Amino acid sequence: MFDTFNNIFLKMTWLSNFFDVVVYQWFGLQEGSLVGRIIQFFLYDVVKIFILLTILIFLVSLIQSYFTPERTTVILQKYKGIKGNITGALLGTLTPFCSCSSIPIFIGFTRAGLPLGITFSFLISSPLVDLASFIILLSALGWEIAVIYVIVGIVLAVIGGMIIDKNHMEEYIADYLRNARHVDPLLAESMTWNDRFHFALDQVKDIIKRVWLYIIIGVLIGASIHNLEALSDFVKIVLGNQNPFSVIIATVLGVPMYADIFGTIPVAEALFAQGIGAGTILSYMMAVTTLSIPSMILLKQVLKPKLLTMFIIIVTIGIIIIGYIFNILYYFM
């Protein structure tokens, strides 16, 4: 039953068959040719991702409309300690944002006086894990890796927030935030269904406007890895299980890139097809979504160097450890 659902609604094999007809019959390209395979992969993956993205962001945004930053702040204020970290990480999964969009919400939480550890659990989880990325991962890489990704993302967010909380780093928040922290958040006004519909529609437009280019770039990279033999061989040498540093290399390669989870999925799908370990793929995806240089530049405006450095170290070490653990598990699966 799951395979049928997956093939029809997630993998959309009917769409792949349609683009086989488009490329090889309508365009007249030779079946199985390199150009034909790349064009078919590109058209199929781009259309599939945008269909899923539109539907899922709309649905997630409807859910998110019940958890505005103001209301989320009120919810988080009720919890302390590890419960607060878990709640912050879980609420982060309801925000289909890249890290650069999560940072303003993080600033709002900080100004409202929420414990620093909870706000960091949210900051790590928000760009890393959400329902939309879970569904698309489910279609691209299978349920095992999709579930693993969500679990390790939440665990990393909880542990990272706890470590920062235990080190009492409040003094290393930018002074303008620290001096204005105890602002009482106001409960958001209740929204009508019409308001929620338009909010979700605006979210779809806004997010697609921001990520469409990265998705296309990601699909192009994925198509190249998937179809160019020389590039496939190079990727296997650098990121394959035979290279003990593959997880570290994947993490480092992810840092200069700026994309959200949706932009990384086509590349991850191509890497998975080449037999690259699940841990290496997860490390790459996590590095792109949480440690990208543009995100660090934004964070530098609100965190002093010591706290920013601690954040980078905690997340980097966590990503690398997770990568190696799951490569070992993946090897024995």
Q: Cβ–Cβ contacts within 10 Å for residue 26, how many?
A: 9
Q: Which residue has the higher pLDDT, 333 or 250?
A: 250
Given this model, what pLDDT does residue 184 score?
A: 44
Average of per-residue pLDDT across 282-297: 78
What pLDDT digit, counting tens, does each position of 211-223 carry? 788 778 878 887 8
Judge whether 169 and 116 are in contact, CB under 8 Å: yes
Average of per-residue pLDDT across 264-270: 80
Q: Which pair of structure tokens corresponds to residue 217?
A: 């770039």
User: What φ, ψ does residue 173 adopt, rounded to 5°?
Assistant: -85, 150
What pLDDT digit, counting tens, does each position of 185-206 carry? 444 456 788 888 888 888 788 8
On whether residue 183 sits in a domain, the answer given is no
Given this model, what pLDDT does residue 26 score?
A: 92
Q: Which pair of structure tokens corresponds to residue 124?
A: 């790590």
For 298, the domain range is 2-177+192-332
- Give whichever of 1-15, 38-52, 254-268 has the largest mean pLDDT: 38-52
Given this model, what pLDDT does residue 75 score?
A: 75
Q: Is the dihedral of CA 257, 260, 261, 267 positive or negative?
A: negative
On whether residue 84 sits in a domain, the answer given is yes
3-state helix, strand, coil in the chain (%, to 5): 80, 0, 20
Residue 6 half-sphere exposure, CB side, CA atoms within 13 Å? Answer: 12
Which pLDDT band, with edges at 50, 70 and 90, does 177 fall under? low
Residue ranges of the alpha helices (H) in 172-304? 175-178, 193-227, 229-239, 246-254, 261-273, 278-291, 293-299
On whether residue 316 sits in a domain, the answer given is yes
Per-residue exposure over 226-263, b if at least 16 CB sit within 10 Å of its own CB, e if not = bbeeeebeebbeebebebeebbbebbbbbbebbbbbbb
On whether residue 96 sits in a domain, the answer given is yes
On whether residue 168 sits in a domain, the answer given is yes
Judge whether 62 and 192 are in contact, CB under 8 Å: no
Q: Cβ–Cβ contacts within 10 Å for residue 302, how many?
A: 17
Given this model, what pLDDT does residue 21 score?
A: 93
Instruction: Give Rg (Cα) of the chain.
Output: 21
Based on the structure, what is the number of domains in the chain?
Answer: 1
Given this model, what pLDDT does residue 188 score?
A: 47
**Whole-angstrom distance between the N-terminal and C-terminal Cα of the chain?**
23
On whether residue 182 sits in a domain, the answer given is no
Q: Say how far apart CA 151 and CA 134 lie, in whole Å.
A: 11
Confidence (pTM): 0.71
Given this model, what pLDDT does residue 331 score?
A: 66
Per-residue exposure over 56-92, b if at least 16 CB sit within 10 Å of its own CB, e if not = bbbbbbbebbeebbebbbbebbebeeeebbbbbbbbb
Helix pair 193-227, 261-273: axis angle to 10 deg: 30
Q: Coil, strand or helix: which one is 24?
A: helix
Judge whether 267 and 221 are in contact, CB under 8 Å: yes
On whether residue 321 sits in a domain, the answer given is yes
On whether residue 187 sits in a domain, the answer given is no
> Given its phi and psi angles, is residue 28 left (phi above 0), alpha (psi -120 to 50 degrees) or beta?
left
